[in-house]
Amino acid sequence: MKAGFVLKPKADEKIKRDFLEIKKIFEKNNIEVLIDTVCAKLIGLLGMDFNKMCEEADFLVALGGDGTLISLTRRSYRYHKPILGINAGKLGFLTDINPENINEFIEKFLKGEYRIDERMVIEVEFNNNLLYAFNDVVISKDINSSMIHIDIDTNEAHLNTYHGDGLIISTPTGSTAYNLSAGGPVVYPLTESFILTPICPHSLTQRPLVIPSKFKIEAKVKEDFAKMIIDGQEIFDINSDIKLRKAKYPAKLIHRMERNYFDVLREKLHWGEG
């Protein structure tokens, strides 16, 4: 069995120590460890090409925060490999296993005592290219623009024209990210739906909306200066219409059997605290 690792971009000595300790645990359990060249260089090691690593690995591992896992999920999407998140960040909505617990988890993992959650991914057709979003697609005004106008059509009908700073089109997984900050709803991550949340709308009647994942969405921006941001990590100038639909395959996340999403919400959002 082989595991392909990526590390958070600002890898420090602690990440290096964590990686080397985890590598030792994996190898003790007959799991060969591969690491991406860019990440390996950050901690003074040799690695291998990212795509080759994805091809060879039986599963992938993100050692970092949620952003590291989101980036890995998007970059590795076409390989359809399950991904394990080890939390070396702060929030940990998605990366629920801590480095100090990895030995216990691997013992259970090798016995088949784990689960794989399948999460919806958005496929984005833009400039004759296909892109993928795990959290969200944000259509945003340029910093120098006062407002943008976004026409949203679906395969069912014209939906709305949004006036304001922009629009977030989120997956259920991304509902606890930018969508939540903008006043959108929390949606259970294993559901399949699009969440459309306006950013600073010009009219207070523009409210967040949840629609079925079977819908195909087309976004047309009337202004010349606007941006499309995928997962908060990739930015594109908008110069054509944007088509969005549920991707054919879900992302697959490896989790502990004991993990409960509502426990995570209560912990991370401090629900129930006075």
- Element housing 25 (H / E): helix 13-28
How far is 99 from 272, CA to CA, in rounded Å? Answer: 28
Do the Cβ atoms of 31 and 9 come closer than 8 Å? no
For 149-170, write each residue's pLDDT tens digit: 999 999 988 999 999 999 999 9
12 included as an active-site residue = no
Q: In terms of CATH, what superfamily is 2-120+250-269?
A: Probable inorganic polyphosphate/atp-NAD kinase; domain 1 (3.40.50.10330)
Q: What predicted TM-score, i.e. pTM, was given to this entire model? A: 0.92
For residue 221, list its beta bridge partners. Answer: 150
Every domain of the chain with CATH number 2.60.200.30 lies at 122-246
| CATH classification for the domain delimited by 122-246, as one of 2.60.200.30, 3.40.640.10, 3.40.50.2300, 3.30.9.10 | 2.60.200.30
Residue 221 banded pLDDT, cuts 50, 70, 90: very high
Mean pLDDT for the chain overall? 91
Torsion of CA 69, 71, 72, 76, to 10 degrees: 140
Q: Give the pLDDT band (50/70/90) at residue 271.
A: confident
Of 66, 153, 165, 231, the catalytic one is 66
What tens digit of pLDDT does each residue of 6-45 get?
A: 999 887 888 899 999 999 999 999 999 999 999 999 899 9
